[in-house]
Amino acid sequence: MSKVTVQAGDSMWAIAQRAGVSLKDLIQANPQVENPSLIHPGEELQLPGSTDDFEQPAPPPVDLGSTPAPEAPAEPPPAAPDPAAAPEAAPPANVYTVRSGDTLSGIAARAGVSLAQVLRANPDIRNPSLIFPGQQITIPEGGDVPQSSTPAPSGPTSAAPSPSGDAGANPYYSQFVDAAKKAGVPESWASNPALIELVKHESGFRPDAKNPSSSAFGMFQFLDSTWSSYLPEVPYGSKDPYWQAVGGFRYIEKRYGTPERAWAFWQATVHKDASIAPPDLRSNAQYWIDHDYGGY
């Protein structure tokens, strides 16, 4: 196998496309990558199969001060095509085009369907954690194609995203820091990459996210019974991100210990591969898989 070095802005999907291999094969050739959505510049990946024709993105040419060769006479540029002559085809009525910041679970929640329904309608999606801007997602029957922009949560003013903290990764960073203090967990959980990925995939950080096929509600997608056990201070259905984070932190700390273990369990049950879960949770993950449960 040949190797490729990850460049800034790369994703495993983009590398697979350039190499002419499938994303699945690339992931299987790199078992050391624990999360295919998180790769870093400078990291080396193995390319599966015959990849002699793969080319790394070429660096820009360096001007060494040499005398340029005479240029050929410029040819007139071709006439620009008439936009009216070839209009861009609109996607089918039941198709949503992924935009930057979207997650599959967030799209499902906005469409009013479950993540499992979206996955069944899109069998080509092998990893729900990996979707990309421009990708087209089929919305299953009974769902509404979301608007192109994500609507803001409709809760009280306290649910507005905080301008402080790492707003690019966690729009409720300051509320999560305060919630960590209340729940008795490290404040670093507010910016923990595993926790951020978990919440993004569960709800897209929407405090009003509702699963139409169950009582799961909010950013952490608590069932009503789970809510009453871990968040007795406020009634089920509160859209306050601070209290939702308090309950979410309590639940994760009690059941999994750390966000990393909770995220690994989520991936194991959603991707139906118990080996992804921490070793001591694999039998539980297999039980969830056998009963068609997904989540954490």
Instruction: Give the sign of the dihedral formed by CA 141, CA 147, CA 149, CA 153.
Output: negative
- With cut-offs at 50, 70 and 90, classify the pLDDT of residue 100: low
- Burial (0-12, 13-18, 19+ Cβ within 10 Å), 221: buried
Local confidence band at 213 (pLDDT 50, 70, 90 cut-offs): confident
Q: Do 124 and 225 meet the contact criterion of CB atoms below 8 Å apart?
A: no
Specify the amino acid at residue 262. Answer: A
Q: How much is the average pLDDT of 169-185? A: 92
What per-residue confidence (pLDDT) applies to 169? 78
Report the mean per-residue pLDDT for the chain.
Answer: 77
pLDDT band at 277 (very low <50, low <70, confident <90, very high): confident
Which residues does 144 contact at the CB level (< 8 Å), separation at least 6? 111, 112
DSSP per residue, the chain: -EEEEPPTT--HHHHHHHHT--HHHHHHT-TT-S-TT---TT-EEEEPS--TT--PPPPPPP---PPPPPPPPPPPPPPPP-TTTSPPPPPPTTEEE--TT--HHHHHHHHTS-HHHHHHH-TT-S-TT---TT-EEEPPTT--PPPSSPPPP-S-GGGSPPSSS-TTT-TTHHHHHHHHHHHTS-GGGGG-HHHHHHHHHHHTT-TT-B-TTSS-BTTTTB-HHHHHHH-TTS-TT---HHHHHHHHHHHHHHHTSSHHHHHHHHHHHHTT-GGGS-GGGHHHHHHHHHTT----
100: Cβ–Cβ under 8 A, 6 or more apart, which residues? 133
Q: Cα dist. 32→26, 28, 166 in Å?
A: 12, 9, 28
pLDDT at 284 exceeding the cut of 50 = yes
Residue 45 has pLDDT above 70, yes or no: yes
CA distance 284 to 77: 65
Name the percent of the chain lying above pLDDT 90: 26
Asked if 211 and 114 count as a contact pair (C-beta separation under 8 A), the reply is: yes
Residue 217: which pLDDT band, with cuts at 50, 70 and 90? very high
pLDDT band at 71 (very low <50, low <70, confident <90, very high): low
Mean pLDDT of 189-201: 91
Determine which of 66-70, 213-217, 248-252 has the lowest per-residue pLDDT on average: 66-70
Give the model confidence (pLDDT) of 102-148 as tens digits. Answer: 777 778 878 888 878 888 888 878 667 667 777 888 998 888 888 75
- Domains of the chain by start residue, with CATH: 2-47 (3.10.350.10), 95-138 (3.10.350.10), 157-255 (1.10.530.10)
Residue 159 has pLDDT above 50, yes or no: no
Please state, as a whole number, how many other Cβ atoms lie within 10 Å of the Cβ of residue 176. 30
Pairing label, strands 136-138, 95-97 = antiparallel
202: tokens are 């569960």
Which pLDDT does position 153 carry in this prediction? 37
Percentage of the chain exceeding pLDDT 70: 75
Choice among 83-87, 103-107, 145-149, 192-196 with the minimum mean pLDDT: 83-87
pLDDT band at 91 (very low <50, low <70, confident <90, very high): low
Report yes or no on whether pTM surpasses 0.75. no
Q: Which residue has the higher pLDDT, 176 or 116?
A: 176
Is pLDDT of 51 > 50?
A: no
Q: Which is higher by pLDDT, 267 or 59?
A: 267
- pLDDT value at residue 179: 94
